[in-house]
Amino acid sequence: GDFPVEVDTLVIGSGPGGYVAAIRAAQLGQKVTVVERGNLGGVCLNVGCIPSKALIEAGHRFHRANHSEDMGITVGEVNLDFSKVQKWKQSVVDKLTGGVEGLLKGNKVDIVKGEAYFVDDSTVRIMDEKSSQTYKFNNCIVATGSRPIELPAFKFSERVVSSTGALGLKEVPKKLIVIGGGYIGVELGSAYADLGSEVTILEGTKSILPGFEKQMSQLVARRLKKMGVTIKTEAFAQSMEESKDGVKVKAEIKGKEEEFEGDILLVTVGRRPNTEELGLEQAGVEIDEKGIVKVDKQCRTSVKNIYAIGDIAPGPQLAHKASYEAKVAAEAISGHPSEIDYTAIPAVVFSGPELATVGLNEAEAKEEGYDVVVSKFPFAANGRALSLNETEGFMKMVTRKEDGLVLGVQIAGANASDMISEACVAIEAGMTAEDIALTIHAHPSLGEITMETAEVALGMPIHIV
Ligand code: FAD
């Protein structure tokens, strides 16, 4: 209709930014409406974090079934019905997205299906296929997320896929070429390698996972090579030729041209914020040249009643960062003094072995002028790691020399994704190496690695000399 609907807090997008913002705002007494043009749960739940981890786990199990001779376990023929893997993966997604719907409703959040477009700083139009409706809001939280970057020479098609396409393949490709050795390329590349694909990764910089310390990314590169994955670094994909039965990619590698053949080409070279078809300029919301929305410490944009969080806001494009900002923005609207503080934001790669980091690494700490103690402890000296047959990897702890304050922790090894949480707590709480060393850790557990790395910092570990 033509009469505007009046709402209190309007949230645009229902990913880990939007749905969390909606719930927190509702908990604080705001009357909340969420608008979503696609599926509830956003990229993370539908075509990101969750389905990728499901595929990775299926790959692990398939690989292990074939490779547990060390433990005296051999099996007959191991079969893979990939259509069932996909069904199971989808069932996980459906459970979670259904859960989000239940949580929103349980918090009395109104859900509107459609695409939002700003008319001015207090009005949006929400359109679906059939109709269009104007909404007036008091406050708005924009959480429209991001989408894969499409390269002009590698337009997406049936064979040339983004991460979304790669997650939904009907068959395990015989040969998979991956352009981009960032975390998404490495995670999906190794999942398909585990499931039986012959994988080639083309990465432009000097190493895969360029955001991580060399020692860490090298561990992953070594494991990938052991699995039969070809890694080409300083490799620039130039062009491709797609035919009925495959795709050929030409790349310049250290000055020489090479050609690669595959059934599927996965292009994962970054993600672009969904900020351009939103009418932000009509609301007066400022964005930078990359399309990222400018925000203050409370995620407030250049317009005081409009907030931006998640992949469209500055900082790492990670689900937990989106959810964290979501709470800050919802609380700010309710008048709380909440502010973002990125000191303890972890980053994880679900590779083999897993990589995780939080806070400053050695180089960053020195760059910031800290006098540091860097301690290191190997997984191979931990009983639990041995009994898991996961002895590869290490933990590094960066502490301030004068008082042992924990500045950062890096982990390469099994379950690093879970282990990093203890380091996050330590940094968030301003703990020292001594605080961690004095904490009793259950035995046998990978958590003891954290205690022992702290003991190394104090100069007295028990299990290494
Ligand atoms: P999104 O999740 O992108 O949600 C935005 C929502 O807004 C979408 O549902 C979209 O439909 C909706 N929307 C957009 N425009 C409009 C509009 N105009 N009107 C109405 N609705 C609109 N992060 C991690 O932390 N850990 C991981 O392991 C991880 N793995 C990943 C794996 C893959 C393959 C990918 C692609 C990403 C992964 N990420 C991971 C990143 C993570 O998914 C994102 O950082 C996160 O989803 C961002 O959340 P968001 O709420 O900002 O946006």
> Helix 49-66 vs helix 82-106: angle between axes, to the nearest 10 degrees?
150
Q: Give all strands (DSSP E) within 270-423, no chain letters.
A: 271-273, 306-308, 347-349, 355-359, 372-378, 394-400, 406-412
CA of 310 to the centre of ligand 1 (A): 8
Q: CB count, 10 Å around CB of 443?
A: 11
Collapsing DSSP to helix, strand or coil, 219 comes out as: helix
Pocket of ligand 1 (CB under 6 A): 12-18, 35-38, 42-44, 48-49, 52, 115-116, 143-146, 163, 184, 274, 278, 310-311, 317-320, 322
Active site residue: 67, 320, 336, 443, which one? 443
Report the predicted TM-score, pTM, of the whole model to 2 decimal places.
0.97
Q: How far apart are CA 147 and CA 317, in angstroms?
A: 11
Q: Which atom of ligand 1 is nearest to the CA of 115?
A: 19
Q: Is 443 a catalytic residue?
A: yes
> Helix 49-66 vs helix 183-194: angle between axes, to the nearest 10 degrees?
40
Per-residue confidence of the chain (465 residues) as pLDDT tens digits? 579 999 999 999 999 999 999 999 999 999 999 999 999 999 999 999 999 999 999 999 999 999 999 999 999 999 999 999 999 999 999 999 999 999 999 999 999 999 999 999 999 999 999 999 999 999 999 999 999 999 999 999 999 999 999 999 999 999 999 999 999 999 999 999 999 999 999 999 999 999 999 999 999 999 999 999 999 999 999 999 999 999 999 999 988 999 999 999 999 999 999 999 999 999 999 999 999 999 999 999 999 999 999 999 999 999 999 999 999 999 999 999 999 999 999 999 999 999 999 999 999 999 999 999 999 999 999 999 999 999 999 999 999 999 999 999 999 999 999 999 999 999 999 999 999 999 999 999 999 999 999 999 999 999 999
